[in-house]
């Protein structure tokens, strides 16, 4: 038997070449890193128009004349911050909405402190969200506004739309978990095993760093090793470094999650999957998803490891709307919002969809029919 | 005419008498083998084995006392005691010898315990060292050390001591759980490398080894990702995760209890005080909101 041929000479010569390049790159990188980097995030101008406790309502200053009569309220998750939608000029969902003539409001949940540990989902949905929605309705003299939710904020938006259907014209959900009984995502597997009561009783609020650590553990090979190896590869590229640092700023900016909200979300949703079964109760009221009869557009990522497609795609079938659309994008959890490719598609698509349904009489809410065209599923 | 000498009037005699009396007292308490019924030989043996350590400590202490008392009762020592401080070094040498013997006996007892530790380790088999080592450590801790932290406390400060000991106990438990967790999270690194080695051998045999070093890294990171995914879905990982969460929360709670004791000494609000206020504030605000909503005129249909 012949001895295997190992191209050891080639491998070593490549290694030597790589080492030389790395040396050169490191020299350039020190210039880049010591130079004044532009790493600010969330720079699109806005004003805070309403505030209740720590929760603020941001109104983005319009850039063009509003092409939609109904304003859009965006509700982000309690985990991480809404600044993800406005990472940098030219790469911002917020900018795209403004350019498309959307009158844009966004809830900033702030940083919960110890005094917020008793706040429940009811306080967030029927309390803060309702206050903000009422403020916008009053300001614009409208009965209904458009609502868009992101991740956990999407789940809150679904709850809100089911409990306050008279205040919502159109609902957009993006990477929104509503069906939690799936083993597709590790988070769903882990959350069933964790003693949530013990955690909340001990920590009060769930520390943001602890949650972030769990998210890193979802894929340590990529998120803790490969990501930084990739950084080393391009650290001499100023634009790349600036974008990388912006992302780091956003990803590790993790407010704590109010304890009681976390407890209910984990137990009722992740462990008992009550929402999709129309059995979840907040503030003494049962959430019946069939009461959502407004047009619904549901985005999710095909490669989302945090909120897998199985957790999202059941919503359009569970609601009472006749005008629903699933949009499956070939990206991950945050790729929808930060990837240049999907940004060009995502916000304009929502703006077009909202415009098509702006201040039109509501679709008949009788028996649920699924005609071709009324419920669509797209993979982009 | 000389008066008859009174033995109690001479201080050296007094000391001698006291040493003898003390010796008799401790002899009566010395560990004696209890009489055993003929049928209970085995159980008595095992009981005797268990209590051997305790008896040996007693014996050692008793011997130390006897040596000391014996030495002091020697007429020469008593005489030298009477001579004054210049004779003290002799006595100290004897005392030191006895003390050293006691120390050696104690050291032997510790070594005996160490031997038991080795026996336990053998029982858990070291072929599966990676898997069992953390269980072994926590079993060792639970069997050998934990009991000292659960030693019953007495007196006015018993509750404070108990809380302090509990925090030390939970900290040790948390450390052990965390070590196991970290070890488990590092396992895919090891397994991915070994899989890589196998793959590379296969590729070398097929003459398909990549020339670019980056390719090796890509192969490794892909394998590592796969192994992590497998690990994180496993029942073993979930168990370790549960233990880590449980032990960390136990530790945080016990640490808070100790902090509460400390903070109560100072004129500052404790976490519990603040939580009580926050809860009241939360409830009041909620009631206020309900009242505000009730007061608002209903919206036009």
Residue-wise pLDDT for B37-75, tens only, equals 444 444 445 444 544 544 555 565 566 566 556 655 666
Query: Tell me, what's the pLDDT at A65?
Result: 85
Query: Tell me, what's the pLDDT at B5?
Result: 52
CB contact under 8 Å between A119 and B232, yes or no, is: no
Q: Is residue B37 part of a domain?
A: no
What span, in angstroms and rounded, lies between the C-alpha atoms of B69 and B67?
6
CB contact under 8 Å between A194 and B225, yes or no, is: no
B84 or A101, greater pLDDT:
A101
CB contact under 8 Å between A202 and B205, yes or no, is: no
B289 interaction partners in chain A (CB closer than 8 Å):
127
Determine which of B193, B228, B237, B283 to mutate to test the interface with A (most A C-beta atoms within 10 Å). B228
Determine which of B215, B219, B224, B254 to mutate to test the interface with A (most A C-beta atoms within 10 Å). B224
Check whether A171 has a pLDDT greater than 70: yes
Q: Is residue B76 part of a domain?
A: no
CB contact under 8 Å between B209 and A190, yes or no, is: no
Provide mean pLDDT across the span A101-111.
97
Check whether A121 has a pLDDT greater than 70: yes
Cβ atoms of A160 and A168 closer than 8 Å: yes
Q: Is residue B19 part of a domain?
A: no
Catalytic site positions of A: 151
Task: For residues B172 and B271, state if they share a domain.
Answer: no
Query: Tell me, what's the pLDDT at A370?
Result: 40
Q: Which two tokens stand for residue A340?
A: 């240049």
For residue A86, give how far its alpha carbon lies from the nearest alpha carbon of chain B (Å).
30
Task: For residues B250 and B130, state if they share a domain.
Answer: yes
Provide mean pLDDT across the span A57-76.
94
Please tell me the CATH code under which domain A46-359+372-379 is placed.
3.40.50.1820
Query: Tell me, what's the pLDDT at A127?
Result: 95
Task: For residues B134 and B187, state if they share a domain.
Answer: yes
Q: Is residue B230 part of a domain?
A: yes
Provide mean pLDDT across the span A15-36.
84
Query: Tell me, what's the pLDDT at A4?
Result: 52
A344 or A250, greater pLDDT:
A250
- Residue B182: domain span: 124-264
CB contact under 8 Å between A225 and B205, yes or no, is: no
Task: For residues B198 and B271, state if they share a domain.
Answer: no
- Residue length, chain A? 380
Task: For residues B132 and B155, state if they share a domain.
Answer: yes
Check whether A172 has a pLDDT greater than 90: yes
A270-316 pLDDT, tens digit per residue, is: 999 999 999 999 999 999 999 999 999 999 999 998 999 999 999 99
A286-298 pLDDT, tens digit per residue, is: 999 999 999 999 9
CB contact under 8 Å between B209 and A7, yes or no, is: yes
Q: Say how many domains are in chain B.
A: 2
Q: Is residue B158 part of a domain?
A: yes
Q: How far is CA A224 from CA A207, A212, B128, in A?
A: 20, 12, 29
Determine which of B252, B278, B285, B288 to mutate to test the interface with A (most A C-beta atoms within 10 Å). B278
Cβ atoms of A301 and A351 closer than 8 Å: no
Task: For residues B227 and B288, state if they share a domain.
Answer: no
Q: Which two tokens stand for residue A88?
A: 């940098």
What span, in angstroms and rounded, lies between the C-alpha atoms of A276 and A162?
12
Provide mean pLDDT across the span B232-247.
92
A226 interaction partners in chain B (CB closer than 8 Å):
221
Query: Tell me, what's the pLDDT at B86?
Result: 53
Check whether A184 has a pLDDT greater than 80: yes
Q: What is the ipTM of this complex?
A: 0.82
Q: Is residue B62 part of a domain?
A: no
What span, in angstroms and rounded, lies between the C-alpha atoms of A287 and B149?
50
Decide: residue A368, CB within 10 A, 0-12 exposed, 13-18 middle, 19+ buried: middle
Determine which of B195, B225, B252 to mutate to test the interface with A (most A C-beta atoms within 10 Å). B225
Residue A278's closest CA among A266, A287, A265? A287
Q: Which two tokens stand for residue A338?
A: 């930060």
Provide mean pLDDT across the span B171-196.
90
Pick from A221-225, B125-129, B255-259: least confident: B125-129
Q: How far is CA B227 from CA A215, A359, B189, in A?
A: 17, 52, 8
Task: For residues B233 and B283, state if they share a domain.
Answer: no
A21 interaction partners in chain B (CB closer than 8 Å):
none
Query: Tell me, what's the pLDDT at B131?
Result: 57
Query: Tell me, what's the pLDDT at A210?
Result: 94
Cβ atoms of A200 and A206 closer than 8 Å: yes
CB contact under 8 Å between B232 and A199, yes or no, is: no
Nearest CB partner across the interface for A219, out of B228, B278, B289: B228
What span, in angstroms and rounded, lies between the C-alpha atoms of B23 and A149?
87
Q: Which two tokens stand for residue B280?
A: 């009241």
B246 interaction partners in chain A (CB closer than 8 Å):
195, 198
Query: A223: nearest CA in chain B?
Result: B225
Q: Is residue B54 part of a domain?
A: no
CB contact under 8 Å between B204 and A118, yes or no, is: no
Q: Which residues pair with A379 in a beta bridge?
A: A328
Task: For residues B206 and B276, state if they share a domain.
Answer: no
Q: Is residue B189 part of a domain?
A: yes
Name the band, by pLDDT with cuts 50, 70 and 90, for residue B98. Answer: low
Nearest CB partner across the interface for A6, out of B209, B228, B229: B209
Query: Tell me, what's the pLDDT at B118?
Result: 45
Name the band, by pLDDT with cuts 50, 70 and 90, for residue B221. Answer: very high
B252 interaction partners in chain A (CB closer than 8 Å):
202-203
Residue A251's closest CA among A218, A202, A300? A218
Query: Tell me, what's the pLDDT at A23?
Result: 84
A7 interaction partners in chain B (CB closer than 8 Å):
209, 211
CB contact under 8 Å between A14 and B253, yes or no, is: no
Percent of chain A at pLDDT exceeding 70: 92
What span, in angstroms and rounded, lies between the C-alpha atoms of A342 and A330?
9
Residue B254's closest CA among B181, B159, B177? B159
Report chain A residues touching chain B, CB-CB < 8 A: 4-7, 10-11, 14-15, 18, 114-115, 117-119, 123, 127, 183, 186, 189-190, 193-195, 198-199, 201-204, 217-222, 225-226, 229
Check whether B88 has a pLDDT greater than 60: no
B242 or B148, greater pLDDT:
B242
Task: For residues B215 and B285, state if they share a domain.
Answer: no
A202 interaction partners in chain B (CB closer than 8 Å):
249, 252-253
Beta carbons within 10 angstroms of residue B284's beta carbon? 10
Pick from A96-105, B42-51, B168-177: least confident: B42-51
Provide mean pLDDT across the span A88-96.
92
Average predicted confidence (pLDDT) for chain B: 74
Query: Tell me, what's the pLDDT at A64?
Result: 87
Q: Which two tokens stand for residue A150?
A: 């992101």
């Amino acid at each position: 038997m012949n001895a295997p041929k190992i191209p050891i000479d080639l491998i070593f010569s490549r290694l030597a070449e790589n080492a030389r390049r790395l040396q050169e790159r490191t020299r350039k990188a020190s210039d880049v890193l010591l130079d004044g980097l532009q790493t600010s995030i969330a720079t699109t101008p806005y004003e805070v128009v309403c505030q209740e406790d720590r929760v603020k309502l941001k109104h983005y200053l319009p850039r063009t004349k509003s092409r939609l009569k109904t304003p859009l309220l965006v509700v982000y998750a309690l985990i991480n911050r809404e600044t993800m939608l406005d990472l940098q000029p030219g790469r911002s969902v917020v900018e795209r909405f403004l350019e498309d003539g959307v009158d844009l409001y966004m809830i900033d949940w702030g940083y919960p402190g110890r005094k917020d540990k008793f706040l429940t989902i009811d306080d967030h949905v029927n309390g803060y969200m309702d206050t903000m929605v009422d403020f916008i309705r009053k300001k614009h003299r409208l009965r209904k506004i458009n609502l868009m939710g992101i991740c956990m904020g999407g789940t809150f938006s679904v709850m809100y739309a089911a409990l306050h259907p008279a205040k919502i014209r159109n609902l957009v959900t993006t990477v929104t978990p509503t069906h939690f009984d799936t083993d597709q995502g590790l988070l769903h597997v882990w959350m069933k095993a964790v003693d949530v009561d013990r955690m909340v009783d001990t920590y009060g609020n769930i520390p943001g760093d602890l949650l972030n650590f769990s998210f890193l553990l979802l894929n340590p090979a990529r998120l803790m090793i490969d990501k930084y190896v990739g950084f080393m590869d391009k650290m001499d590229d100023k634009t790349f470094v600036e974008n990388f640092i912006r992302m780091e700023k956003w990803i590790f900016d993790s407010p704590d999650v109010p304890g009681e909200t976390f407890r209910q979300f984990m137990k009722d949703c992740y462990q008992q999957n009550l929402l999709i079964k129309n059995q979840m109760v907040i503030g003494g009221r049962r959430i019946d998803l069939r009461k959502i009869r407004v047009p619904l557009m549901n985005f999710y990522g095909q490669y989302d490891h945090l909120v897998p497609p199985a957790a999202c795609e059941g919503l359009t079938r569970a609601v009472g709307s006749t005008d629903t659309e699933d949009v499956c994008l070939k990206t991950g959890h945050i790729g929808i919002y930060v990837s240049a490719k999907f940004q060009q598609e995502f916000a304009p698509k929502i703006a077009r969809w909202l415009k098509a349904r702006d201040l039109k009489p509501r679709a008949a809410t009788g028996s649920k029919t699924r005609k071709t065209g009324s419920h669509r599923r797209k993979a982009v | 005419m000389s008066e008859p000498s009174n033995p109690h009037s001479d201080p050296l005699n007094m000391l001698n008498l006291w040493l003898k009396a003390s010796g008799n007292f401790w002899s009566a308490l010395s560990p004696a083998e209890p009489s055993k019924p003929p049928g209970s030989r085995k159980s008595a043996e095992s009981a005797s084995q268990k209590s051997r350590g305790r008896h040996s400590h007693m014996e050692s202490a008793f011997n130390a006392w006897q040596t000391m008392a014996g030495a002091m009762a020697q007429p020469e020592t008593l005489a030298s005691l009477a001579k004054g401080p210049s004779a003290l070094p002799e006595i100290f040498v004897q005392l030191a010898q006895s003390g050293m013997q006691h120390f050696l006996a104690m050291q032997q007892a510790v070594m005996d315990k160490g031997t038991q530790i080795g026996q336990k380790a053998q029982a858990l088999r070291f072929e599966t060292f990676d898997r069992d080592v953390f269980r072994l450590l926590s079993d060792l801790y639970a069997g050998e050390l934990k009991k000292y932290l659960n030693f019953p406390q007495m007196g006015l400060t018993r509750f404070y001591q108990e809380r302090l000991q509990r925090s030390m106990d939970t900290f040790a438990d948390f450390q052990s759980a965390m070590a196991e967790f970290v070890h488990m999270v590092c396992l895919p690194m090891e397994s991915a490398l070994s899989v890589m080695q196998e793959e590379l051998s296969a590729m070398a045999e097929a003459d398909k080894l990549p020339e670019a070093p980056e390719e090796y890294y890509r192969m490794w990171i892909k394998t590592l990702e796969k192994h992590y995914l497998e690990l994180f879905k496993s029942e073993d990982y979930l168990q370790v995760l549960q233990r880590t969460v449980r032990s960390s929360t136990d530790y945080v709670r016990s640490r808070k209890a100790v902090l509460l004791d400390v903070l109560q000494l100072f004129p500052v609000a404790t976490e519990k005080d603040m939580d009580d206020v926050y809860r009241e504030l939360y409830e009041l605000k909620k009631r206020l909101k309900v009242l505000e909503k009730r007061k608002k005129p209903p919206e036009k249909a």
